[in-house]
A and B are shown apart, each in its own frame.
Chain A
Amino acid sequence: MTESVFFWIFAVLTVLLAAQVVLRRNPVHAAVSLVGAFFFLSGIYLLLAAQLIAILQVMVYAGAVMVLFVFVIMLLNLKEEEMGHERLTAWKIIGGASIVVTTGLIAYLALGNAYPTGLLRDMARTQPGFGSVKGVGQALYIASVLPFEVTSLLLTIAVVGAVVVAKGKI
């Protein structure tokens, strides 16, 4: 019961704030909305008993990734006239409608009955240590060796890519 109440609070706020990110014309407002969306999303992770992910969501996304976004906003520093106008084109209507229909369809398929039920929720609450640092670590380092090692490649590519694309003189 408590769980459902908090889920709906977090879910509605996350979706509303995420929509604000897209709909706001002022990039700073969008960024602040994004922080809020990240924050309430971490609440949903908590409800799923994924504590470590919830903390990382706040620390890495609401913290570090947002810093990057704000940097980009400051770099571009768009003036009022450069931001473009709010126009409602046919493509935007079609796109918005298709998003609503698709997510509605998936929600209908996924949430045949009310949240939270099903496999994952039971798994989260029956397995001891699920979502804790040690629980995640066991899954990450033992069961998923290959993706873990490939992640180091991915991060290295990110470093190289950042230099290749953004460094003044290479």
Chain B
Amino acid sequence: MDTDSAYLQPYLPILVLLLLAGVMCFAISILAGYLGPKRTFPIKETAFECGSPTTGDPHSRHSVKFYLVALLFIVFDIESVFIYPWGALLRDFAAQGLGWFAYLEMLSFMATLALGLVYVWRKGALEWS
């Protein structure tokens, strides 16, 4: 690796790991297909549902409730992303004399979001009914 790209050095193990994982995945699935015994007969090919005949369409539509929950999950997930570096840095900020500033900054950020949480909570959007 040339000096120009030296900063990428730490990621070499990750690359190796990813390559290994990828190779393993493909190798196992392909090898299993070739090496594994295949004894198929008609009954084995049918869908199995606890011994009783299958009913209904396997591709049922999910309720829109899932969507709302997923959406709220994303929003709060992104909030945590915004909060995480702050936690890592708070000591540094305090050392720079910015401790209170950083605290108030995060306080107003969190207060806004907390009101959002209060809103969804009271609105009943988190209830599963």
Contacts and interface: CB of A to CB of B under 8 A. Distances in A.
Interface residues on B, range: 35 or more
Interface in A88-126: 125
B45 interface: no
Interface stretch (B23-31, B33-41, B69-77): B69-77
A138 B74 CA distance: 25
A46 B8 contact: yes
Contacts of B82: 140, 148, 151-152
Interface residues of A, number: 47
Interface string A129-162: 0000110111011100100110111011011101
User: At the interface, is chain B mostly helix, strand, loop or mixed?
Assistant: helix
A77 B64 CA distance: 12
B20 to A, nearest CB: 16
Interface of A: 1-3, 6, 46-47, 49, 52, 56, 60, 64-65, 67-68, 71-72, 74-77, 79, 125, 133-134, 136-138, 140-142, 145, 148-149, 151-153, 155-156, 158-160, 162-163, 166-168, 170
Chain A to chain B: the 3 pairs with minimum beta-carbon distance, closest first: A137-B85, A156-B116, A2-B5
11 contacts: A60-B81, A67-B73, A71-B67, A71-B70, A77-B60, A134-B89, A141-B89, A142-B98, A156-B113, A163-B120, A166-B67
